[in-house]
Amino acid sequence: MTGPAPLRILHLTDSLGVGGLERVVVTLAGQLATRGHDVTVAAEPGGALWAELPDGVTRTLAPLRRGATDRLRHALWLVRVVRSGEFDVVHAHQRGVALLARLARTGLRTRVVEHVHNVFPATAAARLVSFRGDVLVACGDAVAAMLVRDFGRSSARVTTVPNAVPDTGSGRDRTLPVTTGRRPTVLAVGRLSPQKDPLRFIDAVAELNHGMQAVDAIWIGEGELLEECRRQVRERDVPGLRFPGPSDDVPGRLAEADLVLLTSRWEGLPLVLLEAAAMGRAAVVPDVGGCGEAVEDGVTGLVYDVDADAATIAATVGKVLDPDTLTGMGASARTRYLGRYILGVHVDRVEEVYRRVLAR
């Protein structure tokens, strides 16, 4: 007996710079290729994650968009690619390219799967043009609810496929550094942007180290606020806090940390929370997007109000810095990861979406 025929899949995204969405594209494309599908990734050149695509994935460079003429050239290129007849499924990962792909595939058997990785404000213009794929894949329950409640998309078109990450904690020493006599280490991973609000992270660490409980803290990532964050640390003399820039070894950084702290203003379902859980690390997160799905309040970490000030965030972190608490929450986090966020299950569900949308 033979299995289902392999599919021709185009993953379409803006770029392959370092970011959670981009890592989903690279990981999913590689996994689908290992299962025998004919997988192509199309994005603009120059992103660091191009190098992480496995050899079994075809690479297609999209035209750069630097002005009106370039955007028109990019749109015409995208239409030609979608209408080439070379793909059964176009898996789009941003709203703009998803809308163009949906319009371009009119009259073809090709179907557009639109992957929604974040929460967005539902303005009148956004409701008109956003999320028009043949089927919408939400990275978590909060994103799915947004699509139906705020954007009016039919629940029949929305499928929740939670983000997933490889089990980097398997076979690795997951001992918490704090249990060896070190002071607690708090880690953040993400782009240094207003969305992630690293300035609030600095404020919270300052609150901890200027009177609550001394911690070491590190933020891994790059972005437009990197130099501003470094400047503030210097000028305010915040002890124990570093912004070293990006790293290609997030599991290694997690192994050196005791706790993950997010200070984001909005989110989808952050991969770092799943990576932290795989490593047996607790997390303190804002109640926004899918953070409360990845972190069970009081069990695998703590959840605070998204509008909380730095003192409140610091006090919340202080509640879990005891080594026994961190150890128990970390163990529960890994159990939660193994039950919900295994990569193989994620790929199975994406394949099911493809088959179902093509069967229509």
Reduce the DSSP state of residue 130 to 3 states and report it. coil
Quote the mean pLDDT of the chain: 95
Q: Write the pLDDT tens digit of every residue in 29-44.
A: 999 999 999 999 999 9
Residue 211 is predicted with a pLDDT of 78
Other beta carbons within 10 angstroms of residue 17's beta carbon come to 17
Give the side-chain half-sphere CA count within 13 A for 180: 8
Distance CA 163, CA 146 (A): 17
Residues in the chain, how many?
360
Q: What percent of the chain has pLDDT over 90?
A: 93
Residue 11 is predicted with a pLDDT of 98
Q: Write the pLDDT tens digit of every residue in 138-167.
A: 999 999 999 999 999 999 999 999 999 999
- Structure-block tokens of residue 336: 């939660």
Domains 8-164+342-359 and 177-340 belong to one CATH topology:
yes
Reported as a pLDDT band with limits 50, 70 and 90, residue 19 is confident
Record the pTM. Answer: 0.91
Reported as a pLDDT band with limits 50, 70 and 90, residue 3 is low
Residues 346, 350, 355, 357: is their CA dihedral positive or negative?
positive
DSSP 76-124: HHHHHHHTTS--SEEEE-SHHHHHHHHHHTTTSS-EEEEEE-S-----H
Instruction: Assess whether pLDDT exceeds 70 at residue 176.
Output: yes
Q: What does CATH list as the number for 177-340?
A: 3.40.50.2000
Instruction: Assess whether pLDDT exceeds 90 at residue 210.
Output: no
Q: Write the pLDDT tens digit of every residue in 177-198.
A: 999 999 999 999 999 999 999 9
Residue 248 is predicted with a pLDDT of 83
The residue to which tokens 């630097």 are assigned: 66
Residue 357 is predicted with a pLDDT of 96
Of 188, 246, 201, 197, residue with least CA distance to 225: 197
Q: What residues does each domain of the chain span?
A: 8-164+342-359, 177-340
Please state at what angle helix 95-104 crosses helix 68-82, rounded to 10 degrees: 50
Instruction: Assess whether pLDDT exceeds 80 at residue 212.
Output: no
- The 3 state secondary structure assigned to 177-245 is HHHHCCCCEEEEECCCCCCCCHHHHHHHHHHHHHHHCCCEEEEECCCCCHHHHHHHHHHHCCCCEEEEE
Q: Does domain 8-164+342-359 have CATH number 3.40.50.2000?
A: yes
Residue 1 is predicted with a pLDDT of 42
